[in-house]
Amino acid sequence: MRHNLDKYEAEVNHLQNQTLNDLLQDLKELHYGLRNIKKERDEVSEALIATNMCPKCLHALTIETWMEDRGECFGSPATETLAHKVCLFCDWEED
Ligand SMILES: [Zn+2]
């Protein structure tokens, strides 16, 4: 009887380990798939931004410029003109 219980317990342990291994493998594949989807999404976003299209709503992007105070340079006030792309149709803006 004890022998049968040991055998049963070993079988249950084996099945549990097998199930955990299968789950782990599924999770690894899912993780890999999600990483690929994210990479492709980032590439599409970059390509859209490069052609001045909003990566969120596909409307045309606008370039917004502003001046920032940079203290002084050789005794004269210095400013720097900065620019970034924004979408006027949704809330997307370049970092
Ligand atoms: Zn947009």
What distance lies between CA 51 and its chain's CA centroid? 21
Q: 72 with 47: CB under 8 angstroms? A: no
Rounded distance, CA 84 to CA 65, Å? 7
pLDDT along the chain (95 residues), means of 10: 85 91 96 97 96 97 94 90 96 92
CA of 19 to the centre of ligand 1 (A): 45
Q: What does residue 19 show for φ and ψ, rounded to 5 degrees?
A: -60, -45
CA–centroid distance, residue 42 to ligand 1 (Å): 16
Ligand 1 centre and the CA of 47: distance in Å? 15
Which pLDDT score is estimated for 36?
97
Domain boundaries, the chain: 1-51, 54-95
- Per-residue model confidence (pLDDT) at position 68: 93
Query: What pLDDT does 28 receive?
Result: 97
The per-residue pLDDT for 2 is 75
Q: Is the pTM of this model over 0.95?
A: no
pLDDT score of 1 = 67
